[in-house]
Structure 1
Amino acid sequence: MDFGLAGLRLGIIYSFNEEVVKALTPLGTYKCVPHIIQHAAATIVNDKAWCDEFYLPTVKEKLRNAYERGYDRLTSMGIKVRRATAGCFLWFNLQPYLKRQTEEEEMELQNELLDAGLYIVPGTKLYCNSPGWFRIVFSVSPKELEVGLDRLEIVLKARKERNMRDN
């Protein structure tokens, strides 16, 4: 369950696995969470009706819609996108936009994306062994996703035209 409360800097692991609990218990000494944060988190988590009947179904629907919007938009641009089963990211292939399949060329594309005001994580920075794969967060507002994908499309069109001229 994710409440999107990153500012609280609180994570909870609930496990019946004794080995996991044993391994994580010593970490509690060094990762104390202030009482007021614990209280706020406990209040949220203990409101089962709100969590189960409102928050989680609402978030699930919003994430599904955002995922589909991002997936559909990327595929409409002719980009190969890996189908996801979980997470808040789209993993997609921009290799056709690289002149060479190298990390350096991937970073050149990354720099063009940055210049366009768009930060998309290059795959080699996530230990992908094939340059040209990128990861984008889709769990943002619909407007932010639309603006980001518009910027991506502009960069890719310009890059494609430039690559065609150079060949």
Structure 2
Amino acid sequence: MSVGNEFSGLPMEELIGGPLAASCIAQYNLAQTMVTFINKIGFKDGKTTTLDFDLERPVDNGSGTLSTEVVSVKAPLLGLVPIPALLIESVTIDFSMEVKSSTTSKTSTEASVETEASGGGLFWKGSIKGKVATNRENTRSTDNTAKYNVNVVARQQQPQEGMAKLMDLMASAVDPIKITVGGAS
């Protein structure tokens, strides 16, 4: 039987479609994980979660002397931590199935001939024995092999443009706003 005939009953739609469908479900789960992460880390009670601290900065008031000023910083936490944004970049389905079909045929032929002769005369007596045997054996064996492999590669994807703009907005919230008093800055 040929290897092609061995494959005729295989559910190819399940062997190929199954890993593809599982990859789609995995991609959905990865996206859901990112959304859950953003909601748990980035927001609390509808407000942005921030890392709050006070920072002393030198201030030059233009008179040549430096003084210090305490600045309160509220840095959005989402801008400080990496967001898990994994993407299944490729799915490779390598079909190789192991089919072990083995055919063994043995042919054995055996033949033997045995003879004995004896004789003698007045001064001698003897016998001769002989045996000739032949044995022949033929063996034939056939193996067919195939395998089934699925290879999935996942990589961190670049942030979507909307997420990048949100991160820019959060980063700009850390920059101080300059206030001018009486026309001087």
Pairwise TM-score range, normalised by the shorter structure: under 0.3
Higher relative contact order (CA 8 A, sep 6+): 2
> TM-score, normalised on structure 2?
0.22
**Based on CA coordinates, which of the two structures has the bigger radius of gyration?**
2
Bigger share in strand: 2
> TM-score, normalised on structure 1?
0.23
Bigger share in helix: 1
